[in-house]
Amino acid sequence: MNDRYFERAVETMPRDQLEKLQEEKLLGDLLPWAYERSPLVRDTWERTGVTIDDIKTMDDFREKVPFIDKDAIRRFRDGSNDRYGGLLCVDPLRAGGPFTAVFSTSGTTGDPTLVPSVTSGPSILTREFWEMGCRPGEYFVEMLFTYRGPGIHQTIRGIGATPVFVDHSPFEFPNVYRLSRELRPTGWYTMSTPLILALDQMAPSMGIDPVDMFASYKGVVYAGEPLGARARALLESWGVDFFVHTGVADVGAATECREHDGCHIWEDIAFVEVLDPEGDEPVADGERGELVGTTLVDKIAPLVRYRSDDLVRVTQERCACGRTHARMWPVGRKSDEVVVDGVSVLPGDIWPAIESVPETSAALFQVIRSGRELDRLRLRVGYAREGPHGLADLRGRVVDAVEATIGVAPDVELVPNEELLRQGPPHKIPRVAKR
């Protein structure tokens, strides 16, 4: 185990074997289980006239199995009085069973949906933490932006390290600085854009030298939203080797390896498809599409062909690290997209323009999205200071920067950064607002 792989045989498994493993898990185990026990899966399939007997091959799966999405779960929940949205495949009343906790989705896109969970044992993130270089006997800062049970504690302990629990708040930095110098932790999960910007701003007054604070870390996991150029430059200036981390259609998570060339999707636990966002056809390898995920391991509340709303690029090309599992680059959310005069615009498209203006370089902005098709692009943009020539001048420079980047001149409302930060959870702000 002294190499970079935590589970070498699985992480470097030849693709034909990996795909065979997926087929065995999906067709031989997960799918019959879910079809028999999940009311949502059974109901969704019956509505389209599909039964488990129709699914004999992976091609059958791709061609015939109907999709579900978060709205379908909410509809089932509200229409059937089933609090678990028809996902639960075990008896919720059986004491001592595997179902030990009830978590929920974040509620970013509406009423949170319940996620029944098994919370024993380390997660697959052990592979990522090991790849970062963290090893037994070391300390590992756990600064997750939300508390959802002991899964991450157990994962850190799963690589033989010890978690150090701190809150995802800039006011924790003095405490983290002290702990970092005393315990010399080697891993950090997770860092976010608001924390990076806050550290840059507050470090001098807090007596913190960020380079010194991060000196012991072999890897810092970054998550929450796309990493902009300014936040990236700050991390680099502090000497941080950071690893971008993202969710995989609510059936897994993906993290960069030390090659920093895409986030690895662990395909032994998740079967992923990348489809035309407006249809059902797969896009070519590396092309932008909607991520659709199917769990291969979750028997408590399995998601089958779950349309995530996430726009991604995915390649199955072997990574330079030697791993064979697919790699993913998040692009944005399908429901965040607006079309202005026929031009598709995602928050990520605007990001570099906002960052390029010094007073708005924190890239705190929102797209005002009253619908998908818009006559005018409206942006709410946060600023740190008015600049030498006042707000009107600043607004003009932001408009010019956006137009130069995407070819669409926006209407811009300027607000202080703090106003936008107040709207978000600790690790990000809502990038789309209805008004």
Q: Which residues bind another protein (CB under 8 A)?
A: 1, 6-7, 83, 92-93, 95-96, 99-104, 106-107, 111-112, 114, 118-127, 136-137, 139, 142-144, 146-150, 153, 155, 157-168, 172, 175, 179, 182-183, 252, 269, 297-298, 424-426
Closest approach, Cβ 242 to another protein, in A, equals: 20
Closest approach, Cβ 156 to another protein, in A, equals: 8
Q: Which residue's entry shows tokens 């939203």? A: 225
Closest approach, Cβ 7 to another protein, in A, equals: 5
- Pairing of β 378-383 and β 365-368: antiparallel
Closest by CA to 305, choosing from 295, 316, 297, 290, is 295
Residues 6+ apart with CB under 8 A from 210: 199, 200, 203, 238
Closer Cβ to another protein, 360 or 366, answer by number: 366
Strand partners, 295: 270
Closer Cβ to another protein, 164 or 394, answer by number: 164
Strand partners, 219: 187
Closer Cβ to another protein, 55 or 321, answer by number: 321
Count of Cβ atoms closer than 10 Å to residue 423 Cβ: 12
How large is the C-alpha radius of gyration of the chain?
23
From start to end of 235-326, where are the E strands?
A: 242-247, 253-256, 263-265, 270-275, 288-295, 306-315
Closest by CA to 135, choosing from 213, 57, 217, 54, is 217
Closer Cβ to another protein, 10 or 377, answer by number: 10
Closest approach, Cβ 141 to another protein, in A, equals: 9
Closest by CA to 45, choosing from 18, 21, 67, 70, is 67
Count of Cβ atoms closer than 10 Å to residue 28 Cβ: 10
Closest approach, Cβ 425 to another protein, in A, equals: 5
Distance CA 351, CA 287 (A): 21
Closer Cβ to another protein, 141 or 379, answer by number: 141
379-403: burial string, b at 16+ Cβ within 10 Å, e else: bbbbbbeebeeeeeebbebbbebbe
Closest approach, Cβ 207 to another protein, in A, equals: 17
Closer Cβ to another protein, 172 or 241, answer by number: 172
Closest approach, Cβ 245 to another protein, in A, equals: 14
Closest approach, Cβ 163 to another protein, in A, equals: 5
Q: How far apart are the first and last CA of the chain?
A: 53
- Pairing of β 338-340 and β 101-104: unpaired
Closest by CA to 18, choosing from 307, 316, 329, 321, is 316
Closest by CA to 314, choosing from 264, 255, 354, is 264
Closer Cβ to another protein, 252 or 410, answer by number: 252
Closer Cβ to another protein, 105 or 201, answer by number: 105
Closest approach, Cβ 394 to another protein, in A, equals: 28
Closest by CA to 271, choosing from 36, 21, 66, 11, is 21
Closer Cβ to another protein, 40 or 401, answer by number: 40
Strand partners, 117: 101
Closest approach, Cβ 131 to another protein, in A, equals: 13
Closer Cβ to another protein, 171 or 373, answer by number: 171
Q: What is the dihedral of CA 403, 405, 407, 410, to 10 degrees?
A: -40
